Structure 1
């Protein structure tokens, strides 16, 4: 006998149209995806508790602008940045930390010339005033700045692309004496204490990345503004792999010792790809308790808690959010919904399932988020399994999270299954898991992606003959390597991916110039794991997308693998975008990339027609 709920489900299914997976109509169009792909970064609060953030808008060619919180619930947020400016720094290419709120003003890095500007945040239509010299281009870049009220100066991370005398470089910002000491390769998080007497910062050097090994330093600010008596507070012991990060000065001090405040086997911050991270902040307590609001990641989940430093106890907050970042003390416990979508879309949203699957290494597991096909108007026949699109994230030292991503919903609402893989080397699962990829990039990530696809096939969730793979940057490399060295997938897409590991090492920017050494290992591995050297092993079609201004993975990577595959006679297509860097920011390019992948994969899976009217590009050796 059926239950009432069971009968209701059967009735609902009977009202659905039966059509092949992948052919379903969906209101989540590529226009919606590209227009909704705003990036919100760098939240900060002024002295009045008002929130500010940087909003990157694809509909404005990816321009990043400073936005101020609405004055009331009836008002809209206010754009601060004038039309001819963009709040974005290119320090370390990934940027971040592009602005600071100083009283009634903001100091920000302008994308076009990378100069620092000062602008009022309260006067309507106020014009930014330049603070740094004009070098006729982005030749000197700034990030992660803080204001030193004691000496009325702005301290910031500076990266010189050309050789400029330090005195000339700094004279427009600070008249403080420039000291000479041994300079490290990288710096981050300059932070001044509440009395203006000490400066803390993070530094690290090649061949380390900041999440591998870094050092926390404190220097005393003298009467004339010099930084003196520098002390390495943490990370100085070469026998310990330690990476301190995100220093902040406590409102009160009770000891000069370095003491742990709470012990938990979890990740309390993200890897330092971007400047301006804020994973915790101090709270003002009515009872004068020492409290810290913080978030952490444990086994693929985000948690937000309040830590009582005195008692060493953590109180978790019961909130519905799946991803937590940018903790800012604004003296309020209110939550604001900054980004939302129409309720009509809700029935089309596929919810992620966190899955754990076995890898090729006995006893080891890897993780992924699986999204099943979801559409209230369509269903497939009972004997059919959906095609699968597997995505391998970039980095590789990052993680994918189970959040609302319309790029994923674009696929699932059309009848595709989608899986977002956190292969070995991803963050969010501890240092041991993150270090699995060291010396084995191109092996661990590829094997884990193939194991994930096999797991889903064996579980009966997807069709084993309709497996496709996509990825950007490091994920593009994983895609190319999977197609070169395995026969798991039917087709692939690489977005600004790596084809030649040696060229990447030789050509990439300073921040990542030694990153690859730790990932690849010995010299022979550079050849053995480069897909460009094994084009004869490619057995399925691939489509490539590349920005022509990319300085992380240069355009020659896509161009070389395209020419090699074309000459070999393998089906391949290349799409190049003028004005795009590492990651696509323009709405028209985001849309085109998404739609072309859809028709490319649908054509090669070969058992359905897409419902959208999309004109496919030519695929060499196929058309």
Structure 2
């Protein structure tokens, strides 16, 4: 049957905003409890809570949510959160599980096979600042405790806090008594991961770092002896430094210490030799075996009892492989999955992870290393619509003005029944990821399909500074934020226009958080004038001085020292690069989206920017705020409103004359 002609951007599609919201988010924090597999997954229709899921050993029955609403298994460690649960098998009575509850940030324990027993609190509340937060737990029934990272506020300010490894009694005796929580070391470092214990329990290892370093800049691998009473003795640094990022550490079954370090320019997997001073690269290659440690508890590799190591690795995308540490050979798992989350677990000879592909959403996948057989064991992908409505992405490498590589993912418009008139070029949106030390993975995203199935193309730009391409590529952004990212996005936009892929008069830019910054900076930069017809800016950074001087959380409070330069020496640069300082340059319509509970990029940044737009250029704009939302939107109604508002902006600016979304009123 011949396709019907319709202009780009006007196509109808079954991928509506409600469908996008229903599929927003992915499983996280997968782990093994004996032979069972557990993880957390989003519930957009339940106010964005995270449910704790359990898949039984036989894998025959569907996974079950073990805690009803309003239990929300999530924490606010470094505000981005971290590993919120852990569990162990017991000889009788079923598993014992501990978790953090988002509403009060307390640590709880519960026995899921004893329905008569409600979860009981293990930690107290605090009246100081933002209270007490717990993350990256390890349950130790023999010792009667759970070890984890404690984030403890000492005042009302966002940077008045301390972090340290602690031991919390499992019997609940510290539930009302902060003094019952044992501190395993002094609060020596600003940031740290939870301790990992050697198989014999005599040593503990963890990562630590301090301002102004971020974990992808420089971290320390700390090693301690554990005394008979469980205390940490003779703590020392055995790897890492200010210019070496150690992203993860784990113990192998034979007692050797494995860690992912970028000392070679790539995050490769290393083993610490018994002398404690020598590290052996187990698979030297120009690939990443880890990524940016945005959340405490990420796992890119896990050792097996056999001595093999399950690893995620690659350039750009990360696939699952099994590494033989003796020969340095990696054998990759076959299958349709092109991207694996940093959430691996091992049970016996089986490796379990969270994987997705360009044409399939995130699934729980299990690999049996004995025969190489892999299968989906939970959350099997089911097409929400016919897959002909999904885009067919292309991995692209663009060339900047100086010849440098700019990586990206291209998603051309696609529809099974409609085509554009011959000779018409489609509108495009440049999508900018957050971070900025992060990456856009090449996976099925129904929000992208929402636009491409309507005839609007998308290009995701993994600009200089993104992870996945080695330390040199990441370091391109040092003191160049607002320059390299802006120019790399413009490079992609200009290339698509020059190639005849995109309509040069109908290119938008959009992004959230750091992506919101790049989008706003692109609309105020003289170097990109005329590239974009409009922009969507979500929960952004807009005023560097304000953000650096108390308008954000502790984790990123000194991030700009490397991204922009030392504030004490480069204050003029902070002002010159801030979109808020050049709001009069905005000449195209834009949409601004902001959660009112955002403590990472607070609403004051948007308000300051809008005041200057109103008194400056007077560019047409809409400002939508979302009660109950923080940094990123989790609630279904918020997601629907944001997605439809973005399409409504394109409808108005690109002249699409759509009737399927509420009109967007712009203030001039």
TM-score w.r.t. the length of structure 1 is 0.92
CA, structure 1 residues 39+483, in 2 after alignment: closer, same or farther (shift >3 Å)?
A: same
Map 1:214-293 → 2, pairs under 5 A: 214-236=219-241, 241-253=243-255, 256-257=274-275, 258-285=279-306, 290-293=307-310
Distance (whole Å) between structure 2 residues aligned to residue 168 and residue 150 of structure 1: 13
Question: Which residue of structure 1 lines up, in the alignment, with residue 573 of structure 2?
Answer: 525
Q: 1:119 aligns with which of 110, 115, 125?
A: 110
Q: Deviations over 1:176-214 (max 9, x none)?
A: 864664611111131111222111110000110011100
Q: Which SS does the other structure have where 1:245 is aligned?
A: strand
Q: Which SS does the other structure have where 1:525 is aligned?
A: helix
Matched, 1:543 2:591: yes
Q: Deviations over 1:406-434 (max 9, x none)?
A: 00000000001111110111101111111
Distance (whole Å) between structure 1 residues aligned to residue 38 and residue 117 of structure 2: 17
Question: Which residue of structure 2 lines up, in the alignment, with residue 187 of structure 1?
Answer: 192
Question: Which residue of structure 1 lines up, in the alignment, with residue 218 of structure 2?
Answer: 213
Q: 2:446 aligns with which of 392, 397, 406?
A: 406
Contact 1:177 1:226 in 2 (8 A): no
Distance (whole Å) between structure 2 residues aligned to residue 565 and residue 281 of structure 1: 50
Question: Which residue of structure 2 lines up, in the alignment, with residue 508 of structure 1?
Answer: 552
Contact 2:542 2:578 in 1 (8 A): yes
Shift of 1:583: 0.4
Distance (whole Å) between structure 1 residues aligned to residue 142 and residue 236 of structure 2: 21
Question: Which residue of structure 2 lines up, in the alignment, with residue 9 of structure 1?
Answer: none
Question: Which residue of structure 2 lines up, in the alignment, with residue 370 of structure 1?
Answer: 410
Question: Which residue of structure 1 lines up, in the alignment, with residue 532 of structure 2?
Answer: 489
Contact 2:174 2:181 in 1 (8 A): no
Higher relative contact order (CA 8 A, sep 6+): 1
Contact 1:548 1:579 in 2 (8 A): yes
Shift of 1:70: 5.5
Contact 1:157 1:188 in 2 (8 A): yes
- Per residue, is there more helix in 1 or in 2? 1
Question: Which residue of structure 2 lines up, in the alignment, with residue 145 of structure 1?
Answer: 137
CA, structure 1 residues 172+452, in 2 after alignment: closer, same or farther (shift >3 Å)?
A: same
Q: Deviations over 1:302-334 (max 9, x none)?
A: 232211112222222332211012221123324
CA, structure 1 residues 87+528, in 2 after alignment: closer, same or farther (shift >3 Å)?
A: same
Q: Deviations over 1:119-146 (max 9, x none)?
A: 1122347521111113369510010111
Q: Deviations over 1:407-465 (max 9, x none)?
A: 00000000011111101111011111111111010000000111100000111111000
Q: Deviations over 1:44-99 (max 9, x none)?
A: 0111x211111121111100110112566663210012212100000111102100
Unaligned runs of 5+ in 1: 1-11
Unaligned runs of 5+ in 2: 90-94, 156-160, 257-272, 351-367, 369-373
Shift of 1:284: 3.5
Matched, 1:27 2:75: no
Shift of 1:150: 4.7
Matched, 1:305 2:321: yes
Question: Which residue of structure 2 lines up, in the alignment, with residue 94 of structure 1?
Answer: 80
Shift of 1:175: 5.9
CA, structure 1 residues 126+411, in 2 after alignment: closer, same or farther (shift >3 Å)?
A: farther
Q: 2:53 aligns with which of 55, 63, 67?
A: 67
Matched, 1:129 2:120: yes
Distance (whole Å) between structure 2 residues aligned to residue 547 and residue 435 of structure 1: 31
CA, structure 1 residues 563+223, in 2 after alignment: closer, same or farther (shift >3 Å)?
A: same
Contact 2:198 2:255 in 1 (8 A): no
Shift of 1:611: 4.9
Distance (whole Å) between structure 2 residues aligned to residue 178 and residue 442 of structure 1: 41
Question: Which residue of structure 2 lines up, in the alignment, with residue 328 of structure 1?
Answer: 345
Matched, 1:432 2:448: no
Shift of 1:224: 2.0
Distance (whole Å) between structure 2 residues aligned to residue 21 and residue 572 of structure 1: 24
Distance (whole Å) between structure 1 residues aligned to residue 184 and residue 667 of structure 2: 59
Distance (whole Å) between structure 2 residues aligned to residue 74 and residue 187 of structure 1: 39
Distance (whole Å) between structure 1 residues aligned to residue 185 and residue 17 of structure 2: 53
TM-score w.r.t. the length of structure 2 is 0.86
Distance (whole Å) between structure 1 residues aligned to residue 180 and residue 225 of structure 2: 18
| Higher mean C-alpha displacement, 164-173 vs 424-433 | 164-173
Q: Deviations over 1:364-412 (max 9, x none)?
A: 1101100011101111101100000111110000000110000000000
Q: Which SS does the other structure have where 1:477 is aligned?
A: helix
Shift of 1:354: 0.5
Contact 2:219 2:246 in 1 (8 A): yes
Q: Which SS does the other structure have where 2:623 is aligned?
A: strand
- Per residue, is there more strand in 1 or in 2? 2
Matched, 1:55 2:55: no
Distance (whole Å) between structure 1 residues aligned to residue 71 and residue 452 of structure 2: 37
Contact 1:71 1:77 in 2 (8 A): no
Alpha-carbon RMSD: 2.2
Contact 1:140 1:162 in 2 (8 A): no
Distance (whole Å) between structure 1 residues aligned to residue 231 and residue 57 of structure 2: 41
Question: Which residue of structure 2 lines up, in the alignment, with residue 345 of structure 1?
Answer: 386
Q: Which SS does the other structure have where 2:339 is aligned?
A: coil
CA, structure 1 residues 72+313, in 2 after alignment: closer, same or farther (shift >3 Å)?
A: closer
Distance (whole Å) between structure 1 residues aligned to residue 486 and residue 557 of structure 2: 22
Distance (whole Å) between structure 2 residues aligned to residue 119 and residue 262 of structure 1: 41
Distance (whole Å) between structure 1 residues aligned to residue 252 and residue 231 of structure 2: 23
Number of equivalences: 596
Distance (whole Å) between structure 2 residues aligned to residue 375 and residue 381 of structure 1: 14
Map 1:592-607 → 2, pairs under 5 A: 592-606=641-655
Contact 2:145 2:168 in 1 (8 A): no
Q: 2:662 aligns with which of 608, 615, 619?
A: 615
Q: Deviations over 1:504-539 (max 9, x none)?
A: 112111100111111012222100000111111111
Contact 2:167 2:182 in 1 (8 A): no
